[in-house]
Amino acid sequence: MAKRKARPPVPQAVPPAAFLARMRGLLGEADFAAFEAAQTAPVRRGLRLNLLKCRDASAFARIAGFSLSPLPFSPEGFSVEGGDVSGRHPWHHAGVFYLQEPSAMSAVTALDPRPGQRVLDLCAAPGGKSTQIAARLGGQGLLVANEIVPGRAKILLSNLERFGVRNACVYNETPERLCAAFPGFFDAVLVDAPCSGEGMFRREPAAAAEWTPETPAACARRQRAILDWAKTALRPGGVLVYSTCTFAPEENECVVAAFLKENPDFSMEPIPCAFGRPARPDWGGGEPSLELARRIFPQDGGEGHFVARLRMGAGAAAGTARFHAQENGDGMDDAQADVLLRAFFAEQFGEPPYGRPHAAGEVLFLLPEELPALPQGLRLLRAGVCAGRIKSGRFEPTHALYLAAAPGACRRAVDLPLGDARLAAFLHGEQIEADGAAGYIAVLAAGHAVGFGKASGGVLKNHYPRALRTL
């Protein structure tokens, strides 16, 4: 690939004076000195492998040209140096890795999702934690990812599609409406709450500019309301993880302490990974169990996070989820969709369709096997994988269908090295040579699908989505 200019350094914001004064009072002189020194240290770049596509970190680093060092926040997380560490890298387009602030990986580590579970990520955009949950689920169980802001919900969906996630539903709903529709349904719920963002001041100067001394209290009121809704979606015995990227006790220890006081059927649990430092019970009214939560400061290797893991008592009252079958509408029925998709998979992929074929008019989906009939009346952006559509009597596959294929499953493919000029041209939206092949062809970047095209007359017509093309 052509050489690119070096990335400019991340702009360093000047934290508000009132914020620094509060932190000095909270931490004391010695710890505050370390905190202040960390504000001027180089920003660490974090990279998380997509376990759905890659589990060998050594091979990944060697082929991608990166230098990786393990992080304490997640087994699949690394600090990264060297190479083109950006969203322009072909393997980023293929969903092989996700670039993420290191300490942000800690929340899903605390949640510890397991294959087969039903998991809700209630405040999910842009998708870092949702993609991490999906990778831990390994294609088994169900992930419901929700984002209230429409534009951010579309980004969330795009990231899940890039990661090749097959077993997710993406909603654009309020936490209140979504949780009311799924009472007592989930084994685990993550609330990565909207917050004052103090842990992101170094990376996001706008967050520092918008902060006022009153911001934490305003955020805390919203956070307590979101937790009250989130608990209703959790099954008895389930796990609720609350996290923020801020340092304010009002948004962290105080929010959790108030929740525990109002919900005696919940209790704190240890987090199954050692990172950061214990939270401060004295910052949350003296509740001793708050020490089981974890705090991460910049001097601990991450920008800043607070994570608490809570367990609902097994004897708590269970809700009753009332789901309704959705109408198919006009067009192909599910049996016809099944026949069509099985034939297409037999030609294109070395695996059967990964899910239940479902037709919604002329659009065909592959729904997760564990998917119940979904509640009606909610803004659902996507369930499972949108496989394609019937157009002029012919089936046209989608970009998401190829990204969701298992590694090595694409039978009809052109596999290009990472530095191949043809790969760069494809990601720019250009046609590339097709060596006499005909029909739909997957394009791979060193073994991982980045998209597809349609070959005819020795060239591959590019079907890479315009919105994703590199410049």
* 236 known ligand binder: no
Omega cis (within 30) before 249: no
Amino acid found at 50: N
Tell me the residue length of the chain: 471
3-state DSSP assignment of residue 244: strand
**Alpha helices, DSSP H, located in 188-303:** 205-210, 215-230, 253-262
Sequence letter at residue 319: G
Please give the DSSP secondary-structure letter assigned to residue 470.
-
Q: Which two tokens stand for residue 241?
A: 């993880």
- Helices 215-230 and 253-262, axial angle in degrees (round to 10): 40
**Residue 192 annotated as binding site:** yes
Tell me the backbone φ, ψ of residue 45, rounded to 5 degrees: -100, 130
Q: Is 147 annotated as a binding residue?
A: yes
Tell me the one-letter amino acid at 433: E
Q: Is 123 annotated as a binding residue?
A: yes
Q: And the tokens for 376? A: 């009606």
Measure the CA–CA gap between 319 and 238, rounded to whole angstroms: 13
Q: Is 219 a residue of the active site?
A: no
Q: CB–CB of 46/99 below 8 Å?
A: yes
**DSSP codes, 93-106:** HTTSEEE--GGGGH
Q: Supply the angle between the helices 150-162 and 128-137 in degrees, to the nearest 10.
A: 40
* Beta-ladder partners of 432: 460
Nearest-5° Cα angle at 223, 217 to 226: 155
DSSP class of residue 147 equals -
Question: 3 labelled as ligand-binding?
Answer: no
Phi then psi dihedrals of residue 123, to 5 deg: -125, 75
Catalytic residue among 245, 254, 386, 410: 245
Q: Are 108 and 190 in contact (CB under 8 A)?
A: yes
Residue 179 known to bind ligand: no
Question: Known binder of ligand: residue 112?
Answer: no
Secondary structure class of 366 (helix, strand, coil): strand
- Whether the Cβ atoms of residue 449 and residue 94 lie closer than 8 Å to each other: yes
Rg (CA), the chain: 23
Residues 6+ apart with CB under 8 A from 104: 46, 73, 128, 129, 245, 302, 303, 305
**Residue stretches of the annotated binding site:** 123-129, 147, 192
**Residue stretches of the annotated binding site for S-adenosyl-L-methionine:** 123-129, 147, 192
Active site residues: 245
